[in-house]
Amino acid sequence: MFDFKKITIIGIGLIGSSFALAMKKQGFKGTITGVGRNEINLIKAKELGIIDSYSTSHTEAVRNADLILLATPAGQFEQIVTAISNDVQKGAIITDVGSVKAEVTDKLDPLMPEGVSFVGAHPIAGKECPGIEAATAELFNNAKCILTPTAKTDSQALSRVKDLWNTIGTDTVEMTPQEHDLVFAAVSHMPHVAAYALVNAVLDTKDDILQYGGKGLKDMTRIALSPTELWRDICSCNREEMLTTLRNFSSSISKMIALIEGSDWDGLEKEFIRANKARQFIESN
């Protein structure tokens, strides 16, 4: 089922650990090596049976690996790939789980040593709690995994990475890196920024106002609890598409304002109905 012998996962957090657990659950018989800066975390991961061995040295850990999974924050990928490029064996595949694709792909494609293929991937899975404590072999069950090949991507490497993600339960979809970044700016990155902006707009209205917020406001701003550093990085990595989708949202708000200014209640309800129907579609999916 798996034609890999040694998998090296760089970054042993929620996604990296869950990937390792899912591979083992599906019967992967090779070795899984974990790499990270925090040795205590790596020891724990080994004790929990998530990884078979670990190293704090990237170059040492990638030797003889036939699959290298980048599972750190995407901002570190370029530096990591530059550091390991002399030690990656010919025929190996480097793949990732980053949530932004175009900038990363543009940077990583030219850094690949001869005979080494890069395949961009983004499994749409996560949890509110980070880290290995929250890891589970079921994290990817029925999730989508977006693969973002470019003209430079080796088709055999793409097909092997695709098989891997299908085997551990995801439904793979191919998009260009640019298309991926626009789609996820719209359905994820921009809504996060909008949630932060919404909380701030409520705060600016009146002192002590937050105590009056009910379940609706809580649900709508839950993602403003997300780590601010992560979302700062995503905004910086996906700057253009963030701007496009935030401007679209701003226009959508302006349209509502204009309809209320004009007391056009039929026109306003038409906008509400459009959103309401689409949201029901999300609910049923």
Which 257-276 residues touch a second copy, going by CB under 8 A?
257, 260-261, 263, 265, 268-269, 271-276
Report, in Å, the least distance between residue 121 CB and a second copy: 15
Report, in Å, the least distance between residue 262 CB and a second copy: 11
Backbone angles phi, psi at 53, to 5 degrees: -150, 170
Q: Binding to a second copy by residue 282, rule CB under 8 A?
A: yes
Buried b (16+ CB within 10 A) or exposed e, 54-63: bbeebeebbb
Report, in Å, the least distance between residue 217 CB and a second copy: 5
Q: Which residues contact 59 (CB under 8 A, 6 or more apart)?
A: 83, 84, 86, 87
Residue 212 is given by DSSP the state: G
**What does the longest C-alpha to C-alpha distance in the chain come to?**
69
> Which residues face 31 on adjacent strands?
6
Query: Which of positions 203-242 make contact with a second copy (CB under 8 A)?
Result: 203-206, 209-214, 216-226, 228-229, 231-232, 235-236, 239, 242
Report, in Å, the least distance between residue 152 CB and a second copy: 24
- Interface pattern 91-110 for a second copy (x via CB under 8 A): --------------------
Span from 9-17, 47-55, 56-64, 183-191 in contact with a second copy (CB under 8 A): 183-191
Report, in Å, the least distance between residue 177 CB and a second copy: 15
Query: Which of positions 124-143 make contact with a second copy (CB under 8 A)?
Result: 124, 126
Q: Binding to a second copy by residue 144, rule CB under 8 A?
A: yes
Instruction: Beginning with the edge strand found earlier in the chain, give each strand of the sheet holding 6-10 in spatial order.
Output: 53-55, 31-35, 6-10, 67-70, 93-96, 117-119
Distances (CA, A) of 273 to 201, 257, 264, 279: 25, 16, 14, 10
